Amino acid sequence: MQRIVALEKSSQQQLNKINLLQARVDTLGEDKALLEGKAHKLQEKTKPLTKEKKGSFSSFGLVVVASSFFVFYAYYCLVFSQS
C-alpha cells in the first residue's frame, strides 16, 4: 500500500514538473514571437534609410544592426539560462 501511495505522489510531482516546463515553453514561445516582431520592425525602419544613403554606411544603421543583435542575444541567453 505504501508503494502505491509513493508512486502516486511521485507521479503527481512529475506531472507538476511537466506542467511547469510546459508553461515555460509557452512563455518562451511568446517571448520569441515578440522579439522577432521587434526585429522585423527595426529592419523595416532601416530600409528607407539605406535607400537614402545608397551605399554609404550610416552610424544609425550600425545602431539598428547592433540593437537587432542584442535582441537576439538576449533571447538566446533567456532560452539557455532556463535549462
Q: What does the pLDDT read at residue 71? A: 76
83 residues of the chain, pLDDT tens digit each: 888 888 899 999 999 999 999 999 999 999 999 999 999 888 888 877 766 665 555 566 666 777 777 777 777 777 777 65
Q: Do residues 58 and 49 touch, judged by C-beta distance below 8 A?
A: yes
Q: How high is the pLDDT of residue 43?
A: 87
User: What does the alpha-carbon distance between residue 6 and residue 8 come to, in Å, rounded to a whole number?
Assistant: 5
What pLDDT is attached to residue 36?
Answer: 92
Q: Domain map of the chain by residue range?
A: 2-81
Asked if residue 79 lies in contact with residue 28, where contact means CB atoms within 8 angstroms, the answer is yes
pTM of the model: 0.48
pLDDT at 12: 93
CA distance linking residue 31 with residue 23, whole number of Å: 12
